[in-house]
Amino acid sequence: MKYSIIDFEREFPDDDVCLDYIFNVRYRDYVCPLCAKKTFYRVKGRKSYACSCGHQVNPLSKTIFKNSTTSLRLWFFAMYLFSQSRHGVPAAELQRQLGVTYKTAWRIGHKIRDLMKQNMEKSEGVFELDETYVGGKQRRYISRNKKNPKKKIPVFGILKREGDVFAVVVPNTQRYTLGAYIWKIIARGSEVCTDEAGVYNNLDQRYVHHTVNHSNREYVRGSVTTNRLEGFWSFLKNAIRSTHRVVSKKYLQAYVDERVFFYNARNSDVPIFHLILQRLTR
């Protein structure tokens, strides 16, 4: 759903409105622990709210804004920029748009990505499973080797049909590594579609297991396909390529989380900006 800069400026004109918003979403059903009243008032000159009995609440505690000297409205604007971007927002772009130092912009970017962390619960259904490799940081001694110009980092994905995608950076693609995620996310008895890689050949113990033979160009056999997940891999790789060029292994999961968040939100009726704001309550 569309949410324009005009909408943003109307909804969040200044720091006070942003603070009220955070207080309202985090303390919606809050009851004063001292006197059981539900009405709180903004404390003048402070970023806190108080009950008439004197009990105070700081709505920024345990949030990404804690201890930040950057204005709340700039933080909100940064989240707005994330919500509008097709491929993510590099720190240099945030620096330019917010008028802050590169270091601050970099920190804000990663704090916002923290909000987008994945949390896929176990469920039953039809799933696609696949791994891919994302270009790691270019290293000079490897770049001389034409066969393997970049160190590739494995990423494992699980996509639920008519549902969400989950993706995780893994140290390797061995059976026990991938299995830990598979058992955690896919309920016993579900249908799973994979390619013919040996790592998946024990899945029929718990699931109805279908395989596609990629080497025979047999990408689609009825509903046995991993095409949707392949689509997500393209989406992920395009974004990383066009925004960050190179991503080190240390930060790759944060970028993967960000893309998963956007992919899973693609058909939402709620503007992505508001979906990001909703994560502030966690």
Min dist CB 27 to Zn ion, Å, is 13
Min dist CB 32 to Zn ion, Å, is 3
Min dist CB 36 to Zn ion, Å, is 7
Q: In the complex with Zn ion, which residue's Cβ is closer, 61 or 213?
A: 61
Q: In the complex with Zn ion, which residue's Cβ is closer, 56 or 213?
A: 56
Stretch that binds Zn ion, among 28-36, 60-68, 129-137, 200-208 (CB under 5 A): 28-36
43 is an interface residue for Zn ion by CB under 5 A:
no
> Of 34, 92, 180, 270, which lies in the binding site for Zn ion, with binding defined by CB under 5 A?
34
Q: HEC states along the chain?
A: CCCCHHHHHHHCCCHHHHHHHHHHHHCCCCCCCCCCCCCCEECCCCCCEECCCCCEECCCCCCCCCCCCCCHHHHHHHHHHHHHCCCCCCHHHHHHHHCCCHHHHHHHHHHHHHHCCCCCCCECCEEEEEEEEEECCCCHHHHCCCCCCCCEEEEEEEEECCCCEEEEECCCCCHHHHHHHHHHHECCCCEEEEECCHHHCCHHHCCEEEEECHHHCCCCECCECCHHHHHHHHHHHHHHHHHCCCCCHHHHHHHHHHHHHHHHCCCCCCCHHHHHHHHHHC
> Of 3, 20, 27, 32, which lies in the binding site for Zn ion, with binding defined by CB under 5 A?
32
> Of 26, 42, 47, 55, which lies in the binding site for Zn ion, with binding defined by CB under 5 A?
55
Min dist CB 171 to Zn ion, Å, is 50
Stretch that binds Zn ion, among 55-63, 118-126, 169-177, 216-224 (CB under 5 A): 55-63
Min dist CB 23 to Zn ion, Å, is 15
25 is an interface residue for Zn ion by CB under 5 A:
no
53 is an interface residue for Zn ion by CB under 5 A:
yes
> Which residues are near Zn ion by CB under 5 A?
32, 34-35, 37, 51, 53, 55
